[in-house]
Amino acid sequence: MARHMNPSSSTNKTIDAIDRKRERERNMMLKKSREMAPELAVALVQRLLDNQIIETNSVHAIQESVAKQLQGLGEMEEFDMQFKIAPIRNLVPDPNVISLYLTQYIIEDLIDHPHIQDVFGDDLDIYRAVDSILKRIRPR
């Protein structure tokens, strides 16, 4: 007897496979961000300074703050991360979720850091600077 293929079932399998692939990539990026937090923080803060996005009177304090964020991403609840990145989720097509999170962190939280004098640029400028460093941990 011939087997009947349900098209909606095959669509669901495809969607599930894409979701599993994205979840694996996300978990791998979170693991790498935790492992490489100090070196990523140094490179990221330097890029932000070079692109004149932040002004600070203590580079080391900002590097520590960014490294702390990178290390804590793995323990963060999915809801909390999605809530944080919600305002800029559609900033770019196929965004790096960690770059989105750090962009929003810079816009909302880092600006209030006692060693930050000012943050310049729009959301897209900040995202591009952040993602130019964090693209190293994104699998392709």
Statement: the pTM of the whole predicted model exceeds 0.75: yes
Specify the pLDDT at position 4: 47
DSSP assignments along the chain, one per residue: -PPPP-HHHHHHHHHHHHHHHHHHHHHHHHHHHHHTHHHHHHHHHHHHHHTT-EEES-HHHHHHHHHHHHHHGGGS-HHHHHHHHGGGTTSSSS--HHHHHHHHHHHHTGGGSTTEEEE-S-HHHHHHHHHHHHGGGS--
| Tokens coding 122 | 């729009």
pLDDT under 50: residue ranges of the chain:
1, 3-4
Are 116 and 62 in contact by the 8 Å Cβ rule? The answer is yes
Specify the pLDDT at position 1: 44
Nearest in space to 107 (alpha carbons), one of 92, 95, 124, 94: 124
- What backbone torsions phi and psi does residue 122 show, to the nearest 5 degrees? -90, 180
Specify the pLDDT at position 18: 83
